[in-house]
Structure 1
């Protein structure tokens, strides 16, 4: 069996890579001695992610996941522009394993109060900035209100929500009620409110939903911001995945807060606060309840 065939047989593990709204936008194409990583346009978010930032970060995370899997399988594979996976002289050097990929979790529920240790920050290396959660309470409310009051963005979110187990794609992709840590009442309310959009928008839905998230950062905790160091967002996506896997090894979960970058009113303030161009922003901590495993195609 060729290295391409072996990696293809492990595609379900590679698909554990993270992506915005759990869209899983990657489309690997298998050739005789090469794998090209394309994009499924039906799984992009043109309104929520008009610059393609999150899309490209997700592609990078998928590439890094493939390299970690290939290393554990004993395959000598490396990444090339395209992006592509091609033969290499040696296995990809990585401290991470398939077990790390399987163990990584996104947790959107409450976290135990407390800042992450300086030793953990040192483990992450450069290009990561710490922001106390309380410093972003007001900006998160502004960003949430923008998210829910921008029709195209709200509708795009609605299309990737799976808020009831009977949803035909509940076990395939998107954001489920359990992944969002919603109670049954909260899931039903959000589903009904977004189904009736834009009527509920005129009735004040954005303000109501933004208000419901005000308590998310009202504790002494940590938000981390990944800064751009060049224009290669695929490489940044690979770095983001390594960051999240490192945090998982310390028993920490993450919760992406991309709306802080997407909202024009908060993006500039965040960039000024961290002294650079943010590529990803996420809450970090120890979840009070075990987060659920998100759905994956082929998983």
Structure 2
């Protein structure tokens, strides 16, 4: 359900973009690679952690805008498995910021009917972080609006390997015949089971790579890259990305004007 009142300042680019959007053709699932916190800080001669702190405001604004626009799913790439190689102090700061965000924003999540979820190797996280995440997931489990996924200790390759292991275990237990394993049944073994695949993948900071993010799920996603660094990303950028998405013709390997796979119903309810 859309809640657009006050979402854009009168006479602003936000209002123009908002008025141009076809709210019946929104991407069901938007995934974002949040990149550029370190560069944002360096440009200002600040420590890297200042960029991470500034990035929290971008998260807050983007999540609320996604919910009010009426998106079904928003997935933010917050911390990759490779990020564990960063200095311990920086990693601790990142997770402290995450815990602070959840405590401060729980009321906002409820007001906007947002359900919070984590995807990734949750068992890798510090126990205190796992407790905070579980509390937020439990508290918002009854919300029926936007599903807000945060990818933590996440790797697209690891997700596929984990799914393959589960498939092998099911086969060994006699619950899955190998010849019955197909794309649909394999997708049910992924962290995003029951969710539509991303229609739109956004990357900030101008980098042209997918960084091991949702590798299975983004097979047919439209990709939109902005030079904006993540701490400066706001709802107007999200609207620009969606406006551009709505101008594209999604072919799914077919040809223009014919032989196209029909897009799924944009109002398809989430499973599970």
Q: Same fold (TM over 0.5)?
A: no
TM-score scaled to structure 1, two decimals? 0.28
TM-score scaled to structure 2, two decimals? 0.30
